[in-house]
Amino acid sequence: MSIDHHPNEELLLDYSSGAMEEGWALAIATHLALCPDCRAAVGDIEAIGASFLEGLVPTRVSTAISDAVRSQLSDTTAPMEDMPHTGKGEAPPVLPEPLRKYIGGDIDHVPWQRLGLGAFQYLIPMGKQGLTVRLLRIPAGKPVPTHSHGGLELTLVLCGSFSDATGRYERGDLQEADETLEHQPHAAVGVDCICLAVTDAPLRFSSFAARLVQPFIGI
């Protein structure tokens, strides 16, 4: 598997520092489970941070601060590399860890909600409001309606692939889209495209029909 589209350095730094909201962190952690290059980059960032901390003089902090730090560390989404399955006839999982923990299993456990025209979504519950985290399944060979973005969107391909004006995205590739991008992703023929998508604002559809149904499908 060749991964050509990666998170930028700022996203990896925010993830490594624990400064990310849960939804963004889930997207980055799931990418890391598929991408050895980015796992190595995060390891380098963490090593630099550890080296810096070793040079600091210890200072006593209040119990409240100490408890808050421990709580935040326990909530951090940590990437886990998927190990190959060696059982006879057993296919590797479509959903890497840690995403499978949020779903309760692999792709066959997803309770899809129909969006129309053969597309489906599943809204992944998050502990805090503000971000929308969903799995999307786009039928093979079909396009997504043309749209722009009201904020940031991270889209990680888990199965199949899609293409738009910025290139082709396959399993493990992460697309970062913001207000400057208007596009029409098109799923490749052969296999449905399944993605993890995280947004902090609704999409802005060009089509009146798409805007009409948008409040009912929550996308």
Longest CA–CA separation in the chain, Å: 61
| 143-188 pLDDT, tens digit each | 988 888 889 999 999 999 999 999 999 999 999 999 999 989 999 9
- Ordered structural domains, the chain, with CATH: 102-217 (2.60.120.10)
The model's pTM is: 0.80
| 191-210 pLDDT, tens digit each | 999 999 999 987 777 765 66
| 54-97 pLDDT, tens digit each | 555 555 544 554 454 344 444 444 555 554 454 556 778 999 99
Average pLDDT over residues 105-124: 91
Separation of alpha carbons 48 and 61, rounded Å: 23
| 5-32 pLDDT, tens digit each | 999 999 999 999 888 999 999 999 999 9
Q: Is the confidence at residue 127, as pLDDT, over 80? A: no
pLDDT at residue number 215: 56
Sequence-ordered list of residues with C-beta below 8 angstroms from that of 33, at least 6 positions apart, any chain = 79, 80, 81, 82, 96, 97, 98, 99
Pairing of strands 193-199, 153-159: antiparallel
